[in-house]
Amino acid sequence: MTRKNTKKNSSSNKEISALKKKIFAFLKKPDYKPASQEKLFSLCGISSQHRNAAIDAITELLTEGSIEIKNKKISLPTGKKSNNVTGSISVHPRGFGFVTPESKYNIDGDVFIPKPFMNGAIDKDVVEIEIVSKKFSDKGPEGVVKEIIERTRKTILGVIFDKENEVFLAYSHILKESKIVHVKPFTKTPLKLGDIVILKVQDWSSYPRKLTADVVNILSHIKKPSSDIETALVEYGLSDTFPQGVIKEAEKFPKEPKKEDLEDRFDLTKEETFTIDPDTASIVGEELPEKLIEIDSDIYGINTKFVEDCYPSEDGTTNRNLKSDLTKREKSRLKTIFNDIAYTRFIENEQEEPQID
């Protein structure tokens, strides 16, 4: 009788041990978010037949200090995330990023963050990341953004394209998920469609669901191409001056080209030239937003159905995610639609600049 019980306990212990490994491995996944016990069992594919053993596995993991439970949700202990580091993130126009770890971590080089693991981070944020792969490739070690510690960017640039009741809507290219910003009326000067404005975000907590900002200054208007350089400097936080070393090096070059430099060259400076791009051409920095919260037919007009098809809604929610299998032509059409909305669709004519009262 005793021998029979021992055999049964041994089998149970093996089951618990296997479930501990399975659960712990799942918690270490970079995209795992703290979940309740029942939700975790479901995510791990643990059937009701093994539920009691899974509960024992959770109990043992808790006793060992391998996991913790906060607000009835299970996760790895905060203090044991040895692969977590903090640093400043630089975001590429195509959506991925590189984090420069703080010097105290003694990590040589940047950590590459793939686009799916940016988790709402924008350029120059201070973030906490988990390094999930220390194997170096051309891009270096890889990680996932776990938390946004500080939004160091105090202002963002936006283009006014519409108004809903007393709130203006602006399109901000620097944002990586929802690019629409709700803008409060500017008290100094009435806003106009097409105004390029500097916006100050007071609270990032609701992003990307909704982002509200105040106008700091009206920088320019989209019909004034002469301000493109100034706009780019503000939008990307670039310096408008060169280091002295660069200036001294440039001064070594003559102001006019030498005769030998012009040999075998055809002078086209007085000719009118232009380029023709195919409708599938892609412009760097015009990446599509990954999510849309809602699709308003008043904004998208005849394109509403097409945009809805490209951003199918999640079951039971208003969130819409970009389809992963769009053709180049569909992507190109989407970019055209978004650009028209943000920059030209609501500008009534080239002569007048109507104000929105």
Hey, where are the domains in the chain?
13-79, 81-150, 155-236
Helix (H) or strand (E) holding 196: strand 195-201
Closest residue by Cα to residue 221 from 176, 251, 249, 189:
189
Which overall architecture, per CATH, does domain 13-79 show? Orthogonal Bundle (1.10)
8 Å CB contact between 141 and 133? yes
Q: How many CB atoms lie within 10 A of CB 118?
A: 21
- pLDDT 10s digit of each residue in the chain, 357 long? 334 444 444 447 888 888 888 898 888 776 788 899 999 999 999 988 889 999 999 998 888 888 888 888 998 887 554 578 889 998 887 788 899 888 766 677 888 888 888 888 888 889 988 887 755 456 668 888 888 888 888 888 888 888 877 788 888 877 876 778 889 877 778 888 888 999 998 888 777 778 888 999 898 888 887 778 888 888 777 778 888 999 999 999 888 888 888 888 888 888 888 877 665 555 544 567 888 877 877 777 778 888 888 998 877 677 788 888 888 888 888 887 877 665 444 443 333 444 444
| pTM of this prediction exceeds 0.75 | no
Shared fold status for 13-79 and 155-236: no
Residues in CB range of 221: below 8 A, 6 or more apart = 192, 194, 195, 196, 227, 353
User: What does the alpha-carbon distance between residue 66 and residue 85 come to, in Å, rounded to a whole number?
Assistant: 20
Token pair for 329? 């032509």
For the domain made up of 155-236, give the CATH fold.
Answer: OB fold (Dihydrolipoamide Acetyltransferase, E2P) (2.40.50)
81-150 CATH pick, 2.40.50.140, 2.60.40.10, 3.40.50.740, 3.40.1390.10: 2.40.50.140
Token pair for 198? 């500097």
Peptide bond into 208 cis (omega under 30): yes
